[in-house]
Structure 1
Amino acid sequence: GIDAADCVGRVVGMAHMLGAATWIASAIESPGVISQVSAFRRIVLGELDGRITPRAQAIYEALKATGITAELTDNILKVLWTKFVFIAAVSGVGALTRLEMGDYRAVPETRGLLTGIMREVEALARAQSVTLDEDVVEKSLAFIDASAPSIKASMQRDIETGHVSELEAIIGIIGRKGRELGILTPFSDVVYAALIPIDLKARRGASA
């Protein structure tokens, strides 16, 4: 989720944290086992304060040596929030509709829901002084339109298969951040309310 670095940093210390965004389609096969279901895999990483440090450079070089497409950036917060604009929308709408991306992206009403979630995430980022492109939502929609029609987000796959999902980290966080910052997030709140019973059921099953 967008607050992953902060959550882990509170335990291990923010001095030990870097930010990173990954572009990959994956699914939870079983506890501790994640499968890659896409041909692509890309990682962009950087220090949260924007510095290019020896440790960030070393991790970048190590990733690149494995054949992964890796990039080192001096503005990881922009990268993280730009990705979150996209992934929150397709995760929520995909899980709600249970359809492949090509089945819902051109439906006007559903595209309106995608856009609404994106605008809410954009507002949260800007309220925290994160610099995003002015047309970040339009670019995200264009990326969806250009993507393979069969794509499903990882959160959607997990919900469909009854696995514990990233609902709290991807959709729940939007409402929580909104309340913290005084920003209304009605689109995300409705998606969360519709999906939380499914996620709670999966968690009960996982702990049984």
Structure 2
Amino acid sequence: MKLLIVGAGSTGGYFGARLAAAGRDVTFLLRPGRAKQIAAQGLQIVSPHHGDLSITPRVVTTGSIDGAYDAILLTVKAYHLDQALEDIAPAVGKETMIMPVLNGMRHVDAITARFGAKALIGGVCKVATTLDAEGRIRQLAPFQSLTYGEMDGSETPRLRALDAALSGAGFDAVLSPRVVAEMWEKWVLLASLGGVTCLGGGPVGQVVATPGGSAFILGLIDEVVAVTNAEGFPPAPAFLSLIRTQFSNPASPQASSMFRDMQDGRWVEADQILGDMVARGAQHGIATPLLNAAHTRLRVYQAGIGQA
């Protein structure tokens, strides 16, 4: 199976490098700057959990794609989605599967509108990685998984072929009949964690330790759950119980990637993770004052760094 990995940042670079090292037919679609960096030093993973890795991957840049791929793993940040869909168009054939692992759910409609519902495969990634100053991918925690499935929950021959390509490559590969529910649950986690840490101004434990911190956290989670319930995707009770337990630990160092990006002065996925949740709540007549405050905080931050 010919696999195209769109982006070689902390997510796409991690899973793509593991796949390439396991002998899969992997090509990376990169912007010129990242392509030049990788050509000079290779694609490097620094992982105390699963071992370091350095490869020299096959790379194409925009305009140099010469045919369709069997599957495309879309790993860009959500605010780069529109450009990414333009870039991958020459790689999309009649049977190409597009598996996005973006945050939120906006991308589902965008991909369907551009390439049709048939092209879309549901996807969820769980990995804690970041790019360091040298462009190396550093793994911050041991979990590493890709979950995927048909949007309607069916098991198809193409899905079994994708499962065979992704399995046995050094990370957890999970074919799931409830991938859409898992996409929504990941959004619940990201919106809750992002709202708590970005508005609270510190990791979960620091917020919990403040007077009123726990009530703030639980109130924000309740707003997120109210919206997702109204959208028809209620989180599983065990999943919600786990989140509430994790978010009640005063020793927790857990923080969202948006919070880390804010600390580093980087762009953030404010509209995709928080803004879209606020908008969907408004459509259902659900008040989300804490989510709205967190989104406003991030919009002010974005304006300060020149992000639209």
TM-score range, shorter chain: 0.7 to 0.9
Amino acid at match of 1:97: G
Cα distance in 2 between the residues matched to 1:153 and 1:111:
17
Per the alignment, do residues 69 and 145 of structure 1 end up closer, same or farther by CA in structure 2, a change over 3 Å counting?
Answer: farther
Contact 2:190/2:256, CA 8 A, preserved across alignment:
yes
Name the structure, 1 or 2, with higher relative contact order (CA <8 Å, separation 6+): 1
Could you tell me how far 1:50 is from its partner in structure 2? 1.1
Question: Paired residue for 1:50, among 153, 167, 171?
Answer: 153
Cα distance in 2 between the residues matched to 1:142 and 1:61:
35
Cα distance in 2 between the residues matched to 1:7 and 1:38:
31
Contact 1:115/1:137, CA 8 A, preserved across alignment:
no
Alignment of 1:1-208 (within 5 A): 1-3=103-105, 4-27=107-130, 36-107=139-210, 109-134=212-237, 136-145=239-248, 149-204=252-307
Q: Percent identity?
A: 25
Q: Deviations over 1:156-179 (max 9, x none)?
A: 111111111111111111111112
Cα distance in 1 between the residues matched to 2:214 and 2:164:
39
Amino acid at match of 2:197: G
SS at match of 1:162: coil
Per the alignment, do residues 45 and 34 of structure 1 end up closer, same or farther by CA in structure 2, a change over 3 Å counting?
Answer: same
Q: Where do 5+ consecutive residues of structure 2 fail to align?
A: 1-102
Q: Greater strand share, 1 or 2?
A: 2
Root-mean-square deviation over aligned CA pairs: 2.7
Structure 1 ranges of 4+ moved more than 4 A: 32-35, 145-148
Could you tell me how far 1:100 is from its partner in structure 2? 2.4
Cα distance in 1 between the residues matched to 2:302 and 2:215:
25
Aligned length: 204
Report the structure number with the largest CA radius of gyration. 2
Q: Where do 5+ consecutive residues of structure 1 fail to align?
A: none
Amino acid at match of 2:262: I
Contact 2:163/2:173, CA 8 A, preserved across alignment:
yes
Contact 2:121/2:150, CA 8 A, preserved across alignment:
yes
Q: Greater helix share, 1 or 2?
A: 1
SS at match of 1:59: helix
